[in-house]
Structure 1
Amino acid sequence: MNTLEVVREEERGIYLEAGADGEILLPAKEVAEGTRRGDMLDVFIYRDSSDRLIATTWEPKAMVGDFAVLEVTQVTAHGAFLDWGLVKDLMLPFGEQKRKVSQGVNVVVRVYVDEETRRIVATTRLGRFLGKTQRRYLENEEVEIMIVDRTDLGYRVVVEGEDWGLIYHNQIFQALEVGQRLKAYVYVTRSDGKIDLMLQKPGPEKAMDLSQQILTRLEQSGGFSELGDKADPSAILAAYNVSKKTYKRALSQLFKERKIVFEEGGIRLVK
């Protein structure tokens, strides 16, 4: 996105000053009533079907440097085209398709500028944009991730838009979808630079958060819960979205603090 000044008006639209790129047209259909010379407008710049720079007040679903999940609107002899929220669809060239795509499917892509054509395009070959910064992650560090795909080992993710990561199946206690963005925690950085992650906050901090949730639910349910230390793991997962091991650790801490007692068939809040 760019903030550019209106420098002149014509019937076809207004022109914006873009420095070394000269004046760029914002089509008349996108010009708000009352817009005048000297106004500063927030616009997105891309190339139209004639390869000319053009401005739009629409903000695309993904910009250069972003990873995103976009729907394939059509497949032609020139490549696939993706809905990225603008009038002109985003091209996904055949050579940039790791696997052949078809109309109507959603694909995870990285948006970039092709050095040869200078056009904004997409690629499903994500690897060449990852692992370049040699960033060092700390154990238990909180990071932003995007789910890319499901493998035999777990879910592959993009970490902080910079590196490959993996969440193993035995660390997953919630439904995940391709394209989903969420927080995760670094478990270990492997020798190949890839990162193993956890979705649950590690150690005592997670137990403390969960402990408060348990106390709140006990207060709301009259002081008793059937979810004791012998409860079925699926019931614990449904109620608190954590593993039984994590749940039992939180119960143990509450018991030590004399906030709950264990009874036949559940736990009770200590008044």
Structure 2
Amino acid sequence: MVAIGRFNQLEIIKERSVGYFFDGGEDGDILMPKRHQPEHCEVGDFLNVFIFHDAEGRLTATTRIPSAQVGEVAWLKVVEVHRIGAFLDWNMTKDLLVPIREQVELMVPHQSYLVYIHLDEDQRIIGSSRLEKFIQDENQGQFSYGQEVDLLIAEETDLGFKAVVDNSHWGLIYSNEIFQPLHIGQKAKGYIKKLRDDGKIDVALEKPGYSPDRIEELARRIYQRIQLFDGFLPLTDKSPPEVIQDEFQVSKKNFKQAVGKLYKERRILIEEKGLRAVK
């Protein structure tokens, strides 16, 4: 069976005037209408195609890429609202329905919402803003320390930003560990920083622990900035964290490590009021 609402690797088995047909196995032949066809393909080719229902309820294939697949969370804008629910733009020819029952609050045209995409009882692709039904609060062995994950920024809190981790769990990024602008709906790479005793997950935008490559890149940036200011930068490893963050979007700890690297390489002098390039 094909996975509805997701990409499938399927074979073109015949061509007709209406388009290509793919082998859908137990689901039968699946049409890709001509308007969805890519160039340079023929019978016998395997294509990675997205499977959805057309307006008549027939399984249909396309190479068009939606904003998200079934089982994923996306930040989507409402196109229009009807009695049965709201229709959201998810980069497909047919807008995504979020039924009234799946809305935390009634959706408003032109506003954007975090939506989990799933299949209803009739295997139709729909969205839901009731994320608590699908996103788990506690880690149960799915993650490990330092693991790279996909983040979707969901909400700003007193502690920092709440994020959806790998489309399945909630995680928290603490304010004092954020060194770049964040906004609701933003996608980012992150790392598991801590798996707490209560099952909650702390995540970070930088990989935990010492990273030679990251420090090397930061040292390069610092040295370039020193040269840009005629060989002297009015910052030191004793500067306030907020000033360092504004200037380089990094933590004071990483800044000190990069400055220490430049000093050991005898490329800079650390003076009372700043960093000076060695001539």
Q: Bin the TM-score by the shorter chain.
A: 0.7 to 0.9
Q: Is 1:240–2:245 an aligned residue pair?
A: no
Name the % identity.
Answer: 42
For 1:29, the aligned partner's letter is R
Q: Go from structure 1 to structure 2 and tell me whether the alpha carbon gap of 1:44 and 1:183 turns closer, same or farther (over 3 Å shift).
A: closer
Paired residue for 1:49? 55
Contact 1:156–1:164 (Cα < 8 Å) also in 2: yes
Aligned to 1:251: 259
Structure 1 Cα separation of the partners of residues 204 and 167 of structure 2: 17
**Maintained 8 Å contact 2:193/2:202:** yes
Q: Residues 211 and 165 of structure 1: is their aligned pair in 2 closer, same or farther, counting only changes over 3 Å?
A: same
Q: CA deviation at 1:256?
A: 5.7
> Structure 2 CA distance, aligned partners of 1:59 and 1:200?
29
Deviation at 1:38, TM superposition (A): 4.3
Q: Which residue does the alignment assign to 1:130? A: 135
- Amino acid across the alignment from 1:117: D
In the superposition, relative to structure 1, how do residues 51 and 177 fare at CA in structure 2: closer, same or farther (>3 Å)?
A: same
Where does residue 162 of structure 1 map in the other structure? 168
Q: List 4+ stretches of structure 1 deviating above 6 A.
A: none
How large is the Cα RMSD of the aligned pairs? 2.9
How many positions carry a matched residue from both structures?
270
Which residue is 1:119 aligned to? 124
Look up the equivalent residue of 2:134 and give its one-letter code.
Answer: F
Aligned mates of 2:192, 2:40 — CA distance in 1:
51
Q: Secondary structure at the match of 1:251?
A: helix
Counterpart position of 2:75:
69
User: What TM-score do you get using the length of structure 2 for normalisation?
Assistant: 0.82
CA contact (8 A) 2:37 2:62 kept: no
Q: List gaps (5 residues or longer) in structure 1.
A: none
Describe the shift of the 1:256–1:95 C-alpha distance in structure 2 as closer, same or farther (beyond 3 A).
Answer: same
Secondary structure in structure 2 of the residue aligned to 1:192: coil
Pair 1:141–1:265, CA change in 2 (3 A): same
Structure 1 equivalent of residue 98 of structure 2: 92
Contact 2:9/2:48 (CA < 8 Å) preserved in 1?
Answer: yes
Residue type of the alignment partner of 2:185: G
2:269 is aligned to 261
Deviation at 1:20, TM superposition (A): 0.6
Q: State the one-letter code of the partner of 1:122.
A: G
Is the aligned partner of 1:27 residue 2:21? no
1:48-95 deviation per Cα after TM superposition (whole angstroms, max 9, x unaligned): 222221222322221112222111111111111111111111111122
Equivalent residue number for residue 114 of structure 2: 108
Give distance in 2, aligned partners of 1:18 and 1:117: 18
Change (3 A) 1:15 1:249: closer
> In the TM superposition, what whole-angstrom CA distance separates every residue of 1:126-161 from its partner, at most 9, and x where no partner exists?
233334872354444443322112122221112233
1:133–1:162 Cα contact (<8 Å) kept = no
